[in-house]
Amino acid sequence: MSSKVSFLILLIGFSIHIKGQDKPNILWLTSEDNNINWVGCYGNSFAETPNIDQLAEEGFRYTHCYANAPVCAPSRSTWITGIHAISMGTHPMRSRNNIPHDRISFYPDLLKENGYYVANCAKTDYNIGGREDHECWDNKCASTPSWKTLKQNQPFLQIINFGQSHESRAHGSLDNIEHDPSRTHLAAYHPDLTDVRKNYAKYYDAVRNMDGKIGEALQKLEEMGLDENTIVIYNSDHGGVMPRSKRFLFASGIHSPFIIRIPEKYKHLWPAKEHGMTVDRLVSFIDMPKTWLSICQAEIPDYYQGKIFLGHQTEKEPNNHFAFRGRMDERFDNARAVYSKDYLYIRNYMPYAPWMQHLEYLWKAKATSAWAEHVKDGKATDTQAKFFKPKSYSEEFYDLKNDPDNVNNLIADTRYKKQIGQMRKALRSWQIEIHDSGLLPESEITKYAAHHNITIYDLVRSPELYNLPALIDAADLALEQQAANKNRLRKLLLSDDAGLRYWAMVGCFLINDKEGAKMAINDNSDEVKAIAAWTLIKNDEREKGINCLHMMIEDDSYTMLKILNIVDWLGKDGEALIPFVQAKKFDDKYCQRMQSYLIRKD
């Protein structure tokens, strides 16, 4: 080999090495379940988070960062793919529906192709079937980071997830609490009870422990001499954690702390002029994987649904943030949210369901059971009690600045008519743009996708199979709750599309159309049939409706979990079905939970 060729090879190798060194390392620190209200630098002087607060002083604190889902699995499903979970059918908790893995990569795959070492310690919970969660990570999700390995494998992306602030840390005994319960500031919807205050204080202890672990990670980064090459990111994985925050689309459920510290070496990425400044750009979690790929100079798939908010590829700030929720464990709800910096609009697709439904895991916090008992005993204020009742209205609108706890619904206030109209329109456009898969009930869409042997991702992108504009129109008609729409709803009950019939039956239910229910009581969709039965029960056809639900229970309906929820929503009318529920043997853990609750409740 000639000296010129050898020199050229060395020069190319050196250039590649320098280019690799120019790419930043990323240390992504994620805590679980805490919204901004638990962090000192976001204005809570009672919170003890000195390490996060110091990180904010050394970096940039974002004031308008929101999760797209208010619970871990759909939130992390959105993160790992750069696609909204509700765009793939991975939004119901622990559903693990498949996606087309031959066309959709996980973002760590793309970083690895760009020369990055990618490691995760140790939370995955991607809620996606067909691929093991740990497979995309170089360290196979070891429980603790190997700092020596990181130093030897730059550039790297290292995630460290801190479970010290997880909801479970608010469970159990309320003894031996270090924070003073009397100094806790309660949300407007929580009653001032001893167990509620103690539960707040217990969680403050948990957040302080989490902050300590973040401090240890930052210290280790510095000790290893990696801090000058490493961008540090901190945020929670969604909001929480006291009852009516996690799992809900209110600000307490998705408004998340978000801080980025960027070394001087990468000053071109700074989102503000000086360290310690705040950034008021609206940032959604869906933006994060796309942004990380951009600043790491990796390929960005064209199917990504977020916007880049750092670096030379920064995209225009969106006007709105969008969020969604579906089934949470054994309990059903279906809603969408639109956030601006000032207002929150929520669309409730199940206005007949209460916000606060008994959910086994949520009720492990003593604050939840104390609140529920306070309401049951008739001691709660209207604001405290309303969340345990059916929503009744399909839309909510809140002033985020003047009503941070989102308790004063302004949907009927004519002063906001223009803003509400704009947010309604924005929601519909977004739903169509991202192929919202939540306009069919979970059991129906999974059955439908299986029948066609395709993923939900592909199903909702096939207009001939999933007519989304028509489904939105039908849902809007149903949710108007107007008796004048009776004939239009009955006409939809004759459609060949089970989704349109479902929304027609929901509309009939909401206006107590007994004749419409009689039309649908033998529908070949169990989702439609179940709502029809419920409608008959509450409209003087109790025996016919109870018999229908009884037969579906006996026949092991594919929508069994929804039926068990309806048995609960029926109240006293559902008691006749409890013996049949008790006699069943369920394999599904969520059906088992509902069965246990219904038996105890009875």
Is the pLDDT reported for residue 562 higher than 80?
yes
Answer yes or no: is pLDDT of 12 > 70.
no
Residue 187 located in a structural domain: yes
Reported confidence tier of residue 21, pLDDT bands at 50, 70, 90: low
- Residue 223 structural domain: 3-317
**HEC-encoded secondary structure of 26-92:** EEEEEECCCCHHHCHHHCCCCCCCHHHHHHHHHCEEEEEEECCCCCHHHHHHHHHHCCCHHHCCCCC
Kindly report the average pLDDT of the chain as a whole number. 96
> pLDDT category, 478, cuts 50, 70, 90?
very high
Using one digit for the tens of pLDDT, what is the confidence trace for 240-255? 999 999 999 999 999 9
- One domain for residues 457 and 587: yes
Q: Is the pLDDT of residue 486 over 90?
A: yes
Do the domain assignments include residue 515? yes
3-state helix vs strand vs coil in the chain, percent to 5: 50, 10, 40
Query: Would you say residue 341 lies in a domain?
Result: no
Determine the average pLDDT of the residues in 515-544. 98
pLDDT at 382 over 50: yes
- pLDDT above 80 for 348: yes
| Confidence (pLDDT) at 287 | 98
CA distance 194 to 202: 12
Task: Give every CB contact of residue 514 below 8 A, 6+ residues apart in sequence.
Answer: 535, 536, 539, 540, 541
Using CA of residue 401, residue 403, residue 406, residue 408, what is the dihedral sign?
A: negative
Domain-ending residue, one of 317, 348, 370:
317
pLDDT at 602: 74
Q: Region 562-584: what's the mean pLDDT? A: 97
337 has a pLDDT exceeding 80: yes
Distance of CA 191 to the CA centre of its chain: 26
In a domain, 343, yes or no: no
The pLDDT of residue 66 is 98
CA–CA separation, 183 and 188 (whole Å): 15
Specify if 22 maps to a domain: yes
User: Across residues 317-330, what is the average pLDDT?
Assistant: 98
pLDDT at position 16 over 70: no
| Residues 266-275, mean pLDDT to the nearest whole number | 97
| Under 8 Å between Cβ of 111 and 289 | no
581 within domain boundaries: yes
Helix or strand or coil: residue 278?
strand
Give yes or no: residues 439 and 313 share one domain: no
pLDDT given for residue 551 in this prediction: 98
CATH number of the domain where residue 519 is located:
1.25.10.10
The verdict on residue 326 lying in a domain is: no
Phi, psi (rounded to 5 degrees) for 235? -160, 160
pTM score, whole prediction: 0.95
Query: 390-402, pLDDT tens digit by residue?
Result: 998 999 999 999 9
CA distance 172 to 337: 32
**305 in Cβ contact with 107 (< 8 Å):** no
- What's the pLDDT at 51? 98
What's the number of domains the chain is made of?
2
Pair 300, 442 in one domain: no
**Neighbour count for residue 294 (Cβ, 10 Å):** 19
Check whether 17 has a pLDDT greater than 60: no
Quick check: is 477 in a domain?
A: yes
What pLDDT score was predicted for residue 19?
Answer: 47
pLDDT tens sequence across 149-206: 999 999 999 999 999 999 999 999 999 999 999 999 999 999 999 999 999 999 999 9
Residues ≥6 apart with Cβ < 8 Å to 267: none
* Predicted local distance difference test score (pLDDT) of residue 75: 98
Single residue among 317, 350, 370 that ends a domain in this structure: 317
Q: 317, 339, 374: which is the final residue of a domain?
A: 317
Q: Kindly tell me if the per-residue pLDDT of 4 is higher than 60.
A: no
Q: What pLDDT is stored for residue 30 in this prediction?
A: 98
pLDDT for 231 beyond 50: yes
The percent of residues above 90 in pLDDT, for the chain, comes to 96
Q: Specify the CATH number for the domain of residue 20.
A: 3.40.720.10
In this prediction, residue 195 carries a pLDDT of 98
